Amino acid sequence: MVAPSDPADSPSLQQRAWSRYWASGALTSLPEDFQANYDGEIREFWRARCAPLADGAAVLDVCTGNGAVALLLAEALSDLGVGARIVALDRAEIRPELIRQRFPALARHVDSIRFVGGRPFEEAAFEDASQDLVTSQYGIEYCKPDAAAGQCARVLKPGGRLALLTHATDSAMRATMEQELEQYEVLADCGLFQRARDWRAGALDGDRFVRALGEIDAAVRRTSGAAASPLFAYVLGLTGQVGRWTTSQLQAQRKAVIDAVEQLEDGRSRLDQMLGVHRLLASPEQFAGHFEQAGLVLDEHGPLTYRGTHAVGHRFLFSKPGNDVSRG
């Protein structure tokens, strides 16, 4: 885990890391597995959440990214002939206009959703008891659990429902991520991130920055396993090239170098956050306990599989005690 004083753990960097990801135009957090939006059992899970809703229902999708779940909800409600108000919220700066451009078939659903970016859910000022359904997939677990649970309980109407699909914890995946984070820490120990920050701030001139990258290049090459690491290969491509530049060449390529280092910083931050999520979700019952302590009732939980074989997450269904807001 990155130390709290490390800039990689700062809220601004965490926000930038995900803003950059969604600015790529990705709709899901698994773009290599889904050509467009989530389908199969994931899609059906969210469609089922819409069945009890009546006209005029208020739906809030938190940690929405570019709106994958909000779009599944909008599609389902449209098919049911239910007019609902959907708000999609994320801490990152999100880019729904890119989804409209990349997936024209989704454009009408994109236009039916109110997207709110740059707003942490824990701090969002929605009215008390204003939401019939709150949803989140692969997102709310990145929030502060007690604060997020309290927000859910506060904004839900009596009888309202909270539906979550969280990451599926996998020990092999966690081991792989921990190994990669160790490689990022090697880069930090070599001074890559600090030297780049000093150069961007003007505390390190171009000549010294180029020399520093040459030294970092040599240090990384001496690291055990460097030849087999895609991360180290990317860094060595950068340091090997820039370390041979003149100051004028560096100045001419300043934006590209800053962008390359920021991508590394963002990757390190996202990885650190994901490892924190894996630790949080190691006990589903303990995770659910945050929401139960906030006053919600856990109605159902368990794994969700995709195409009957792949564990894609853990589902949690909660309700807020009080009058039922469903169709009945």
**202 and 303 fall within a common domain:** no
Q: Yes or no: say if 145 and 170 are a contact pair by the CB < 8 Å rule.
A: no
Residue 272 CA to residue 23 CA, distance in Å, equals 20
**210 and 233 fall within a common domain:** yes
In a domain, residue 287? The reply is yes
Instruction: Determine the residue type at 287.
Output: F
CATH number for 51: 3.40.50.150
| Bridge partners of residue 311, in order along the sequence | 305
Closest of 292, 299, 314 to residue 42, by C-alpha: 314
Residue 321 CA to residue 181 CA, distance in Å, equals 42
Provide the residue range defining the domain that includes 92: 7-169+281-319
In a domain, residue 69? The reply is yes
**112 and 158 fall within a common domain:** yes
pLDDT at 47: 97
Find all residues with CB under 8 Å of 164, minimum gap 6, and list them. 135, 136, 137, 140, 315, 316, 317, 318
**165 and 223 fall within a common domain:** no
Q: How far is CA 11 from CA 18, 92, 191, 305, in A?
A: 11, 11, 21, 33
CB atoms under 10 Å from CB of 322, counted, come to 12
For the chain, the distance separating the N- and C-terminal CA atoms, rounded to the nearest angstrom, is 47
As for how many domains the chain has, the answer is 2
**127 and 185 fall within a common domain:** no
pLDDT at 8: 54
**290 and 313 fall within a common domain:** yes
Residue 202 CA to residue 264 CA, distance in Å, equals 20
Q: What is the DSSP letter of 321?
A: S
H helices of 158-253, where? 171-190, 192-201, 206-221, 230-242, 247-252
Query: Would you give per-residue pLDDT tens digits along the chain (328 residues)?
Result: 343 345 555 778 888 999 998 988 889 887 777 888 999 999 999 999 999 999 999 999 999 999 999 999 999 999 999 999 999 999 999 999 999 999 999 999 999 999 999 999 999 999 999 999 999 999 999 999 999 999 999 999 999 999 999 998 877 778 889 999 999 999 999 999 999 999 999 999 999 999 999 999 999 999 988 888 999 999 999 999 998 899 999 999 999 999 999 999 999 999 999 999 999 999 999 999 999 999 999 999 999 998 888 888 999 999 999 876 554 4
DSSP element (H, E) containing 291: helix 284-293
In a domain, residue 143? The reply is yes
**116 and 230 fall within a common domain:** no
20-37 pLDDT, tens digit each? 989 888 898 877 778 889
pLDDT at 11: 75
Alpha-carbon dihedral sign for residues 152, 154, 157, 159: positive
pLDDT at 328: 40
**25 and 111 fall within a common domain:** yes
Stated pTM of the model: 0.89
**108 and 230 fall within a common domain:** no
